[in-house]
């Protein structure tokens, strides 16, 4: 990778804060909490599928216990991503019982909102938080979490997500939580179309998704692909994560190649950079080889970003300076 590739501006809309804590910092935080972080047997993690990954992810994230842990983690990732050209991030934050229920989670969100403001000043990277609940979570808890999240709308939070073991737990029971968040100013930015197929993508679109994290399995349904392209729906694609979790087969073209060729806007992200041992600049390079050039990834990121108008204007200027005409086209499309 050239220095120019590394430093060219990037937008990342799909990164789990809990999966972005590098092993050194995670071990330090875990020690402070009296927890032993799981150590991969051969130096890096391997996963049979999404469900296997979620089990490891849960063990890793269990090391984070306090608002200060999250604050440090967000600042560390913001600094790292800025070093890879990031100018805008939408980190995902899970509502977890272990954080002390919804009120403890509110303290975590407050700490992250503070860290986000600090990161913009110190590293020049704007951050919009997207708190989320997950499939399989207690529905009443998820609804309370949505209410808590809305307290941060316009104060650090910009959207509300849903993730978890897609295909194993249904999405529909969380419709009310999604509505609570949307009514409170947090548009719906769910995970879908990763472990489950096109029907899962249609399902979240019907629930009001303004963007889809993953969504790559839409590729199996040409009508849906055409609809996504027509609507300009942004998919937050994570190329290496898809390969590592078996969503994309190594011996077949990556879905993102066909989606991009069909005119679907694909933003590019790492998903869980510390767990997959990857970087944002590295994923932009992988995406470029798969048919999503950095300018297109940036344009899709800007189209999908839930930032305020002044941040959007700034991001548009940054993109136009770096990517010129190609970028201007993708902006005019919006």
In the complex with Zn ion, the residue whose CB is nearer, 237 or 318, is 237
Residue 159 Rama label (left phi>0; alpha psi -120 to 50; beta): beta
Q: H-helix or E-strand containing 214?
A: strand 212-214
Q: Show contacts with Zn ion in window 217-236 (CB under 5 A).
A: none
Interface with Zn ion (CB under 5 A), residue total: 1
- The distance of closest approach from Cβ of residue 200 to Zn ion in the complex, given in angstroms and rounded to an integer, is 14
Residue 214 beta carbon to Zn ion: minimum distance, rounded to whole angstroms:
7
Spatial CA neighbour of 163 closest among 153, 182, 178, 176? 178
DSSP state letters, 218-267: GGG-HHHHHHHHHHTPEEEE-HHHHHHTTSS-TTS--HHHHHHHTT-EEE
Shortest spacing between CB 269 and Zn ion, in angstroms: 8
Cβ-contact 259, 219 below 8 angstroms: yes
Q: Which is nearer to Zn ion, 166 or 271 (CB)?
A: 271
194 part of the active site: yes
Closest CA to 65 of 96, 102, 25: 96
CA of residue 225 relative to chain centroid, distance: 21
Nearest distance from residue 139's CB to Zn ion, in Å?
21
Q: How far is the CB of 19 from Zn ion (least distance, A)?
A: 8
CA dihedral 106, 193, 272, 141 (to 10 degrees): 20
Q: Based on CB atoms, which residue is closest to Zn ion, 70 or 327? A: 70
Name the residue nearer to Zn ion (CB basis): 180 or 245: 245
Cα–Cα dist 11/13, whole Å:
7
Q: Exposed e or buried b for every residue in 119-156, given b needs 16+ CB within 10 A?
A: bbeebebbbbbbbbbbbebeeebbbbbbebbbebbeeb
Which listed residue (143, 194, 203, 283) is catalytic? 194
Query: Please, which of residues 265-324 interact with Zn ion by CB under 5 A?
Result: 271
Nearer to Zn ion, 178 or 318 (CB): 178
| Beta-carbon count within 10 A of 185 CB | 15
Rounded to a whole number of angstroms, the minimum distance from the CB of residue 247 to Zn ion is 11
**Based on CB atoms, which residue is closest to Zn ion, 188 or 323?**
188
> Which of the residues are catalytic?
194
Query: Given the rule CB under 5 A, which residues bind Zn ion?
Result: 271
């Amino acid at each position: 990778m050239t220095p120019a590739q590394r430093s060219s501006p990037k937008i990342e809309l799909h990164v789990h804060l809990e999966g972005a804590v590098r092993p050194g910092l995670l071990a330090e935080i875990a020690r402070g909490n009296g927890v032993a972080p799981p150590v991969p047997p051969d130096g890096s993690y391997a996963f049979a599928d999404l469900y296997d990954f979620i089990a490891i992810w849960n063990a890793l994230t269990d090391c984070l216990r306090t608002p200060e842990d999250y604050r440090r983690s967000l600042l560390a990732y913001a600094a790292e991503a800025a070093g890879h050209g990031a100018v805008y991030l939408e980190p995902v934050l899970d509502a977890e019982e272990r954080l002390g229920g919804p009120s403890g989670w509110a303290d975590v969100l407050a700490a992250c909102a503070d860290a986000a403001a600090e990161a913009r000043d110190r590293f020049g990277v704007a951050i919009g938080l997207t708190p989320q609940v997950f499939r399989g979570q207690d529905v009443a808890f998820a609804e309370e979490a949505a209410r808590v999240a809305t307290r941060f709308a316009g104060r650090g939070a910009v959207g509300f997500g849903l993730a978890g073991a897609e295909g194993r737990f249904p999405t529909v029971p969380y419709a009310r939580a999604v509505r609570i968040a949307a009514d409170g100013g947090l548009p719906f930015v769910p995970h879908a179309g990763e472990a489950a197929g096109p029907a899962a993508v249609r399902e979240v679109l019907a629930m009001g998704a303004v963007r889809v994290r993953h969504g790559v399995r839409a590729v199996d349904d040409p009508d849906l692909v055409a609809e996504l392209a027509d609507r300009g729906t942004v998919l937050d694609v994570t190329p290496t994560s898809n390969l590592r979790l078996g969503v994309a087969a190594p011996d077949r073209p990556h879905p993102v190649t066909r989606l991009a060729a069909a005119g679907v806007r694909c933003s590019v992200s790492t998903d869980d950079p510390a767990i997959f041992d990857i970087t944002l600049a590295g994923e932009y390079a992988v995406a470029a080889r798969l048919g999503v050039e950095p300018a297109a990834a940036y344009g899709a990121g800007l189209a999908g970003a839930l930032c305020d108008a002044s941040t959007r204007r700034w991001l548009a200027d940054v993109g136009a300076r770096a990517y010129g005409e190609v970028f201007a086209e993708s902006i005019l499309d919006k």
